[in-house]
């Protein structure tokens, strides 16, 4: 692992132990106004995993985002060791900033067991090598945008992201509510399953809620659009590596009442379904009845 962007992300997911069941994580400015939800989930998962026996692996998590996080302040994670059974362990985590909870998080861990197995097949899409990575807008285009948007669009990211159906996020067309996106870390990291799960929890927050905006020709970058995650669920099915190509298959079955729902399936390159996601988020059009 030599890329500084990847090293910075890995360090972000390594928490400082303050006391039994109490951890502290730093915040990272990635160009958003508030702390990125994927960061909070990745760190909360790291805190929960630190209190579980190593033979038990996370198979599901659910996060509710209560308040926006301050990118200038660290986050304290308080872990409740809810239950340790013969096969499963459950943990609840509260993420705290400035004395107030900003996220409540629950996760379940399971020992390795054998049983029946099936999965839905991965859709046929072009290989990532045949697709173009997301590119930064030209300096001329960036100069016409607000400073915060300039920072977000020009940021360097630790993931190589290649959408099957690219779109101009500044002038998005209306299209059906589904998309497929290849992604992977831009550098290799240590072969630690706990780290790869935390990295995937982090990355799973990208593009998910945005799928609910596709039929409406709007995006996070529009000044009259307000978007924020309300909750995020994730299930881990099979082993994977975050530094190898993964396909994120996304759809949004509904949007109503200033909320949108999106779902995702994450496949390895060889077609194994490794994780599933779901998220509901706020989508408001300011000044309009939407």
Q: Please say if 7 is a catalytic residue.
A: no
User: Active-site residue among 49, 179, 180, 279?
Assistant: 279
Per the annotation, the verdict on 279 as an active-site residue is: yes
- Given 107, 179, 205, 252, the catalytic residue: 205
Quote the CA–CA distance of 215 and 105 in Å, as a whole number.
31
Query: Annotated catalytic residue: which of 89, 97, 229, 276?
Result: 229
DSSP letters spanning the chain? ---HHHHHHHHHTSPEEEETTEEEE----SS-SS--HHHHHHHHHHHHHTTS-TTEEEEEEEEEE-SPPPTTS-EEEEEEEEEE-SSEEEEEEEEEETTEEEEEEEEEEEE--------PPPPP---GGGSPPP-PPPHHHHTTS-HHHHHHHT---SEEEEESS---SSSPPP--SEEEEEEEESS---S-HHHHHHHHHHHTTSSTGGGGGGGGT--TTSTTEEEEEEEEEEEE-S---TTS-EEEEEEEEEEETTEEEEEEEEEETTS-EEEEEEEEEEEEETTS--
Q: Is 229 in the active site?
A: yes
Which positions are catalytic?
A: 205, 229, 279
């Amino acid at each position: 692992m030599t890329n500084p962007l990847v090293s910075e992300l890995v360090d972000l997911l390594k928490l400082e132990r303050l006391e039994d069941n109490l951890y502290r994580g730093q915040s990272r400015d990635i160009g958003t106004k508030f702390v990125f939800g994927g960061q909070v989930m990745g760190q909360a998962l790291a805190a929960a995993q630190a209190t579980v026996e190593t033979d038990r692996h996370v198979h599901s998590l659910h996060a509710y985002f209560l308040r926006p996080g301050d990118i200038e302040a660290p986050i304290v994670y308080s872990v409740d060791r809810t239950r340790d059974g013969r096969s499963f362990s459950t943990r609840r985590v509260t993420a705290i900033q400035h004395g107030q909870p900003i996220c409540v998080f629950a996760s379940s861990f399971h020992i390795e067991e054998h049983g029946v197995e099936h999965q839905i097949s991965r859709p046929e899409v072009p290989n990532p090598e045949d697709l173009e990575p997301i590119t930064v807008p030209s300096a001329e285009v960036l100069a016409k945008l607000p400073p915060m948007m300039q920072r977000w669009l020009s940021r360097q990211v630790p993931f190589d992201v290649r959408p099957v159906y690219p779109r101009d996020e500044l002038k998005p067309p209306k299209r059906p509510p589904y998309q497929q996106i290849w992604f992977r870390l831009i550098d290799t990291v240590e072969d630690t399953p706990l780290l790869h799960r935390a990295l995937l929890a982090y990355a799973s927050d990208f593009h998910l809620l945005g799928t609910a905006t596709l039929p409406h020709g709007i995006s996070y970058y529009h000044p009259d659009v307000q978007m924020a995650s309300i909750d995020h669920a994730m299930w881990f099915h099979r082993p994977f590596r975050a530094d190898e190509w993964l396909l994120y298959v996304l759809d949004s079955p509904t949007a109503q009442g200033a909320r949108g729902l999106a779902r995702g399936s994450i496949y390895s390159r060889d077609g194994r379904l490794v994780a599933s996601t779901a998220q509901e988020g706020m989508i408001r059009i300011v000044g309009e009845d939407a």
